[in-house]
Amino acid sequence: MVVSEPNVQHRKPELMIQRIAFLASDANVAQSARVALIARYGNSAPRDADVVVALGGDGFMLHTLHHMQHLNTPVYGMNRGTIGFLMNEFHEIDLMQRLVDAEEEVINPLAMRAMDQSGKLHEALAINEVSLLRAGPQAARLQISVDGRVRMDELVCDGALLSTPAGSTAYNYSAHGPILPIGSDVLALTAIAAFRPRRWRGALLPKIAKVRFDVLDADKRPVMADADSVSFKDIDWVEIRSEPAIEHRILFDPGHGLEERLISEQFT
């Protein structure tokens, strides 16, 4: 089997922090934190910044990473939301030193291509997962292929998803999928409320695998596709692969990176 490059590269960035761009979610607590931090450290436009500081929860962090990917600027998150798996603790003081000391992890997203019943092709990227979900009262019927070979003729379920290691503690974990070590070159294919095969949990696939879902009986059993909350309705088929050409750079305080968080999550 061909060995792919690691899904996440751990490295210590050599950052010269002079200009910071502060971005915040719409939540009042995040907006208030942004005002306080700008008063203390100033503010730059994202295109001119050495680092972007995202204030909010994991949803806002994903939003920021997607919108900043063309800049190749590292993003340091501070939790001002309800969930903060991708975020660091919020503190106003010593931010410049925290940024200098931060450890960087580089994540590749999933690339999704989806065809709807009208023949329109949709494309999207997902840092966490691509999911297919039933969009009507009846269970979805999905055929699953890996690298062009049909691996399951029919999965009757509420849905299925393909998750990266970074997203394995999100929807994937709630659907009883496995938590994946960040350095692993694997993806988790997880069923959501599988009916037939009964309670099928899914499979672990190499990162380089190309996965295709074909929706069976789509008129009667409609299915939607979702890539990090970007959704498309009435889907006929979906193809998913890892996209190594795109890198998301995330900064974490030492000892609190994704590797440690994934391990800790399994013992809580």
Q: Are the C-beta atoms of residues 241 and 223 closer than 8 Å to each other?
A: no
Task: Report which residue type is found at 90.
Answer: F
CA distances from 100 to 64, 106, 240 (A): 20, 17, 36
> What secondary structure letter does DSSP report for 47?
G
Cα dihedral 260, 263, 267, 268 in deg (nearest 10): 50
Query: Is 256 labelled as part of a ligand binding site?
Result: no
129: enclosing H helix or E strand: strand 129-134
Q: Are the C-beta atoms of residues 251 and 49 closer than 8 Å to each other?
A: no
Q: Are the C-beta atoms of residues 200 and 194 closer than 8 Å to each other?
A: yes
Query: Is 91 labelled as part of a ligand binding site?
Result: no
Query: Is 128 labelled as part of a ligand binding site?
Result: yes
Closest CA to 66 of 123, 13, 105, 109: 109
Query: Is 158 labelled as part of a ligand binding site?
Result: yes
Query: Is 173 labelled as part of a ligand binding site?
Result: yes
Interatomic CA distance for residues 68 and 195, integer angstroms: 40
Query: Is 203 labelled as part of a ligand binding site?
Result: no
Query: Is 171 labelled as part of a ligand binding site?
Result: yes
Instruction: Tell me if residue 159 falls in helix, strand or coil.
Output: strand
Query: Is 135 labelled as part of a ligand binding site?
Result: no
Task: Report which residue type is found at 268.
Answer: T
The one catalytic residue in 58, 116, 185, 226 is 58
Query: Is 124 labelled as part of a ligand binding site?
Result: no
Query: Is 264 labelled as part of a ligand binding site?
Result: no
The neighbour count for residue 268, using CB atoms within 10 Å, is: 4
Catalytic site residue 58? yes
What does the chain come to in residues?
268
> Annotated binding site: which residue ranges?
58-59, 63, 128-129, 158, 166, 169-174, 193
Which residues are part of the catalytic machinery? 58
> Annotated binding site for NAD(+): which residue ranges?
58-59, 63, 128-129, 158, 166, 169-174, 193
